[in-house]
């Protein structure tokens, strides 16, 4: 089994969405100050680095990070190469059985620097979002900061996925991962009131990718 870490390092140098809260880390206790242990305190947007968007992000009565179905974040996953496009359309999934895939990650950037917010990034076409939701896909992810354009006010792709019960994973790192099938593990923190959560996302290669299906939460 090979483990591919597809998470951005989360720290004070991590670039966040323009206008969102920066990542801040302070120390409550330090051994060099005479304390018996080191204890850090973290202040961050829940959308910093690699993260999930809960349905609450775009729906007033949507599920919080704690209430999202966990089985969406664990199971068979297809990595799709879409580097170079400005808009990810149905052409990207030509020949892929998306119903079987269950989870799809789009690789749109050849190089990722987590300390710099990208000047431009690819977004997911709303028609494709609706097609994936209709096909029963459980999760869609991207290596971009958002599945919608940066200047979007309507967030059409977000709403299409939320309406279809499709989980969203953003800011993954796929520059070192080949297209193909993997086992995804990207569990959010059980944040009871938040609209998203940072995750430590990994792809497992060389293990069975048979999807376990819905289970107890």
Q: Calculate ∠ Cα 191-48-88, nearest 5°.
A: 110
Q: Indicate the pTM of the whole model.
A: 0.94
Element (DSSP H or E) covering residue 87: strand 87-88
Mean pLDDT of each 10-residue bin along the chain, 217 residues long: 97 97 98 98 98 98 97 97 97 91 96 96 98 97 98 98 98 97 98 98 85 52
In this predicted structure, what is the pLDDT of residue 216? 47
Q: Which is it for strands 167-170 and 139-142: parallel, antiparallel or unpaired?
A: parallel
For residue 118, the enclosing domain spans 2-7+47-205
- The pLDDT value recorded for residue 213 is 54
142, 124 in Cβ contact below 8 A? yes
Task: Give the pLDDT score at 206.
Answer: 87
Instruction: Determine, yes or no, domain membership for 37.
Output: no
Catalytic position from the list 4, 47, 51, 57: 57
Residue 12 within a domain: no
In a domain, 15, yes or no: no
Cα separation of 54 and 104, whole Å? 17
Q: What is the pLDDT of residue 164?
A: 97
Chain centroid to CA 212: how far?
A: 20
Specify if 217 maps to a domain.
no
| CATH code for the domain of 149 | 3.50.30.50
Residue 39 phi/psi, 5° resolution? Answer: -130, 120
Q: Is residue 82 part of a domain?
A: yes
Based on the residue annotation, tell me whether 57 is a catalytic residue of this protein.
yes
Between the alpha carbon of residue 203 and those of residues 49, 77, 103, 186, the distances in Å are 17, 8, 12, 9
Q: Running DSSP on this structure, what letter comes out for residue 101?
A: H
In a domain, 89, yes or no: yes
Residue 24 domain flag = no
With helix as H, strand as E and coil as C, how does 109-162 read? CCCCCCCCCCCCCCEECHHHHHHHHHCCCCEEEECCCCCCCCCCCCCHHHHHHH
Domain count, the chain: 1
Other Cβ atoms less than 10 A from the Cβ of 67: the count is: 14
How is residue 36 annotated by DSSP?
Answer: S
* Cα–Cα distance measured from residue 4 to residue 75, given in angstroms and rounded to the nearest whole number: 15
Q: What's the pLDDT score for residue 98? A: 86
């Amino acid at each position: 089994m090979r483990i591919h870490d597809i998470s951005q390092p989360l720290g004070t140098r991590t670039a966040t969405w323009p206008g969102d809260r920066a990542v801040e880390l302070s120390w409550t206790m330090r051994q060099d100050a005479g304390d018996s242990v080191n204890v850090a305190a973290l202040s961050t947007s829940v959308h910093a680095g690699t993260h999930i968007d809960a349905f609450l992000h775009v729906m007033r009565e949507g599920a919080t990070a704690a209430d999202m179905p966990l089985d969406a974040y664990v199971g068979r996953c297809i990595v799709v190469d879409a580097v170079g496009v400005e808009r990810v359309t149905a052409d990207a999934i030509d020949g892929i059985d998306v119903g079987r895939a269950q989870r799809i990650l789009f690789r749109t950037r050849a190089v990722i620097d987590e300390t710099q917010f990208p000047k431009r990034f690819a977004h997911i076409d709303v028609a494709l979002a609706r097609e994936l939701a209709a096909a029963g896909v459980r999760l869609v992810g991207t290596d971009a900061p958002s599945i919608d354009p940066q200047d979007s006010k309507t967030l059409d792709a977000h709403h299409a996925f939320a309406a279809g019960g499709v989980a969203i994973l953003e800011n993954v790192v796929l520059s070192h991962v080949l297209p193909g099938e993997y086992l995804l593990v990207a569990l959010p923190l059980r944040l009871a009131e938040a609209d998203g959560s940072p995750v430590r996302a990994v792809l497992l290669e060389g293990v069975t990718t048979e999807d376990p299906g819905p289970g107890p939460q």
